[in-house]
Structure 1
Amino acid sequence: MSRTPRAVSVALALLVGLLSSISSGVGAGAAAEPLPLACSTDTPTVPLGGKVVLKAWARSPGGRALRFTWDATVGKIEGRGAEARWSLADLRPGTFAASVTATDGESTSSECLVRVTVRRDAEPRGFSRETARSLLSAGQSEMAGYGLYSYLLLGAPPSEASRERYLKAIEAYLALIPDVASLEEYVPRGELNVFYLPVRGTPPSALTAQWALDNYDYARARSLLRGLPEPNRDGPYILAAFKPVGGAGAAPPYLFQNLSSVPPHLAASWVREFLNQAAQERFWEEKTTMQLAQRMRATVGIMGSGLPEVKKALDGWITWVR
C-alpha cells in the first residue's frame, strides 16, 4: 500500500522530533556536575584602608588541576590561585562582597561569595598575639607573664585508631609554631601565646613527633583535663586560657577544642586555624567564634568530603566557656 506525500512528511517530522528529544535528554544527562567549592576570609572586618586574605577550597573528581577566578566590583584583588589578597583602600565604611569560581577544564563550580565589613576606625583593634611552642617537662612549672597559655593534650596513650591522628597533630605543632626562645627575642612575653606540650625526659637536639609521642606525659595531661568537658580520654585536645592551668582546672574564659574525631589529614588545618583564633585579642567572642567555625566548615566541606559524620560532629569540637 503506497503512502501519500503528506503522510510521509508527517512521519518524518515525528521521527525528527523524537530523535531531537532523545538527543537533548542524553546531553542533559551527560552534563558535568558542578565542582564543590567553599570560600572564606582570614577576618570578617578590616579597618579603613585595610586588606583581607581570601581563600577558596575546591576538589576535582578526576584530580585535574584547578583554576580559580576572583572578582569584586570594588577594591582590587591580587592573585589568581586558591588564595588572593583583596585591597579595600579608599572605600567608605560598609560591607562589600567578592566572588570566586573554580574550574578544572571540564567542570565549573557555582559562584561562592564572601563578605567583608570595612570598619570606621583607621587602625586595627588591639594586637595580634603570636604563638610560640614550648615543651613542659615533668616537674616544671609554666613561666609567668604570657598573654595566653595553651596546651596540646592527649587523654590516653595512643590506640591503633588514634596513633596517626596524634602524630599528625604533633607534627603540625612542631612544623607550624616557632620555639618560644626565638620569639621572645623580638616579641614581649605579654603578647605571646605559649603553647605547651607536656613531656617526660630530656628532648633530643632534633625534636621529632615520634619522640614527643613516645615521651608524652599522660599523667600531667590528665591533671590538666580534670573538670573539662567530658569525655576527654582520647584526643588530641587544645586548651587555651589566660592563666596557667593547674589541677583545679582552667578559669573562664577558656577555649577547649576536641580533635578526637578529626581525620588525621585535617590535623594541620585545625592547628593552623587555632593559631589564627588565638591571635585575636578577645579570642572567645562570638564574632571570632563564628569566623573559626566558618573556616573549619569550609575546610571540612572540601577535604572531608564523603565524611558526613565529621561535618555533623563539628559543633562538638569547639567549646567556649565564658
Structure 2
Amino acid sequence: MTRLRRAAGLVLGLLAAVVVGPALAAPLRAVCMTDRPLLAAGERAVIIAVTDAPAGAEVQISWSADGGALVPAGGPGETRWSPPAQSHGVFVIRAHVHAGAAEAGETADCSAQIAVIETPNRGGGETLISTRALLPPAAHEAPDYGLYSYVLFAAPPTDQETDLFDAILKSYLTLLRSQDRLERCCPEAFPHPRLNVTYVPVQQAPPGDFHQRELNDQVAWIRNHYDYDRAFAWLTRLRDLPDADPSLRDGAVWIVSCQRPLGGKEDPRPGFQQDLSAVPVRFIERRMRIFASQTMQPRDYNPHSVALLQLDLRIGIAQAAEGLEAVSAAIKTLGGAE
C-alpha cells in the first residue's frame, strides 16, 4: 500500500453502500474531498464522496472528470484520479450520488477541485513523521525537530465546548505516535529532523501509567491538567509578532505549526495554523487527519513552500465543508475566505 493510499485512508472515511434501506426524510447532501488538492504532473490523488444518507440506505456513486483518468480505488465512495499528461491547471472531479430505490430515492452532486502545477516545492525527499508529546511546565521543546506543532486552547472549555475539546484530544492521541516511545525505541531511526512533534502543554508530568489507561481516561486527564495559561501565552506571542496573521485574533481553539519552537527566543515563523473553534465535533477527526497528512509531506518550509502548504490545507478543508451549512463558519482557516 502506497503512502498516498495510507494518507487517503487516514484523511477521510469511506462511504459504504448496503442493499436495503429506509426512505430518505430530507434532501440528500454530498461532499467530495481529496487528500491531494495540489499535484505535480505525474502524481495522483484520491477523491472520496461522503453523503448524509441515513444508515441502511442503498447508495450508488458515479464519477466523472473534465480531464485525466479515473480508476476505482478502495471502496464504492472512492476513486483515484491521474491528471492528463503534460497538462497544468485546475481540474474538477465530480460525483453523482443516488440514495434509495432505483426508481425513486434522492440524488446529490458534489465536486473536488485539484490544481496541477509543474513542480510543487515540497522540499527534500524525506517524509516527516508526525508525533505527539505532553509538555509539563519544567520542560521545554527539544531542538532541531523538522516541524513544531501545538494544540492550543486559549481558555478552559465551556459546557458546550467540552465535546469539541475531547474530540480534538482523542484524535491527537490516536492519530499521532508517541514521540517519547519512538525516541526511546530507535533514536537512530528517528532523528529530530525527521519528526513533526505536536505538543500539548500540561500543568504537570503525566502519571506513570498514563499510556496504559483507557483512551477516555487519557483525554480526561489531559483536559483536567491542560496548561491554559501557557497555551494563551503562546497564542499571544504569535498574535504580537510583526505582521502577524490577523486571523489569529479570533478563535480559541487552534493547531499551529512553526519551523522553530514557540518557547524559544527566535521568531518561530514561517508557520501556519488552523482555527478549530467553529468545527462541528463530527468533522474534527477528518480535519485532524488532513492536517497530519499535509504536514508530514516533505518540504523545506521556505516562504514559497509554506504558501503552497496553506493552499493545500485551505482547498482541502473548504472541500470538506462544501454543501454543509454547519461547517461554513470554519472556512476562515489559515486566513482564507469562504
TM-score range, shorter chain: 0.7 to 0.9
Q: 2:61 aligns with which of 35, 55, 68?
A: 68
Q: Which runs of 4+ in 1 moved over 6 A?
A: none
Q: Is the Cα contact below 8 Å between 1:153 and 1:236 reproduced in 2?
A: yes
Deviation, structure 1 residue 155:
1.4
SS at match of 2:237: coil
Change (3 A) 1:61 1:306: farther
- Say which SS state the counterpart of residue 255 (structure 1) adopts: strand
Query: Which of 209, 212, 222 is the matching residue for 1:212?
Result: 222
Written as runs of structure 1 = structure 2, the 5 A alignment for 1:298-309 is: 298-302=319-323, 305-307=324-326
Structure 1 residue 206, shift from structure 2 partner: 2.4
In the TM superposition, residue 223 of structure 1 has moved relative to its aligned partner by 2.4
Residues 202, 53 of structure 1: alpha-carbon distance in 2 compared, 3 angstrom cutoff: same
Distance 2:231 2:26 in 1: 47
Q: 1:63 to 1:287 in 2, by over 3 A?
A: farther
CA shift, 1:148, in A, is 0.7
Q: 1:271 aligns with which of 259, 280, 288?
A: 288
Q: Percent identity?
A: 26
* AA at the equivalent of 2:277: S
Q: What is the total number of aligned residue pairs between the two structures?
A: 281
Give the aligned partner of residue 197 of structure 2: 194
Correspondence for 1:109: 108
CA separation of 1:262/1:292 partners in 2, compared to 1, >3 Å: closer, same or farther? same
Q: Are positions 1:86 and 2:102 aligned together? A: no
Structure with the bigger RCO (C-alpha within 8 Å, sep 6+) is 2
SS at structure 1 position matched to 2:238: coil
- Partners of 2:45 and 2:171 lie apart in 1 by 25
CA contact (8 A) 1:38 1:57 kept: yes
**Structure 2: segments with no counterpart, 5+ residues:** 1-24, 240-247
In the alignment, which residue of structure 2 is the partner of 1:286? 307
Q: Distance in 1 between matches of 2:158 and 2:119?
A: 52
Greater CA deviation, 131-140 or 35-44?
35-44
- What CA RMSD, in Å, does the superposition of the two structures yield over aligned residues? 3.3
Aligned counterpart, 1:318 = 334
Unaligned runs of 5+ in 1: 1-31
Q: Which has the larger radius of gyration?
A: 1
Instruction: With the length of structure 2 as denominator, give the TM-score of the two structures.
Output: 0.71
Q: Who is 1:221 aligned against?
A: 231
Distance 2:275 2:41 in 1: 36
Alignment check: 8 A CA contact 1:227 1:248 kept: no
Q: Distance in 1 between matches of 2:171 and 2:47?
A: 22
